[in-house]
Amino acid sequence: QRKVMAARQPMTFLGPTGLTLAFTTALYAYCSALSLPFLPMYAWVGMWTSGMLLAASVANLSGLIRYCTRFTEDVFNFLLAFNYVAEACRSIRASFTGLAGSGFLALNTAGLTAWLCQATAAFRSKRYLSPMAREA
């Protein structure tokens, strides 16, 4: 029963987190640009969203999901990935205006992280681990 309560699946936690983070970041930037208070705006967005979800559930609009194709999902994932990469590049560029060596440190760390991700992406198909360990 505890497994059901905690869900025990990484996607239960990780799936909505990226979308929520991207939306919250964009909303915060919007509120900052217009000098609006963020928390009341975030509360109103939550109320409007709950109202729209209530109306969608009353109208039984969940059947429209069949019109969302794999292409729709891929385009949306591309936009999210582009947003994360753009934010990382903006952060690295901003670090060059700070302390003397922090910009190069941030650039080297980002480059090393990208290289490690590329180098270990196909590790599951290598023969270094047993098939059972590869799938864990």
Token reading at 128: 């270094």
**Distance, CA of 80 to CA of 73 (rounded, Å):** 11
> Is the pLDDT at 2 greater than 50, yes or no?
no
Give me the chain's average pLDDT, please: 80
pLDDT recorded at residue 7: 53
Nearest to 93 by CA among 79, 80, 110: 110
Tell me: the pLDDT tens digits for 49-80? 999 999 998 998 888 878 877 787 788 888 88
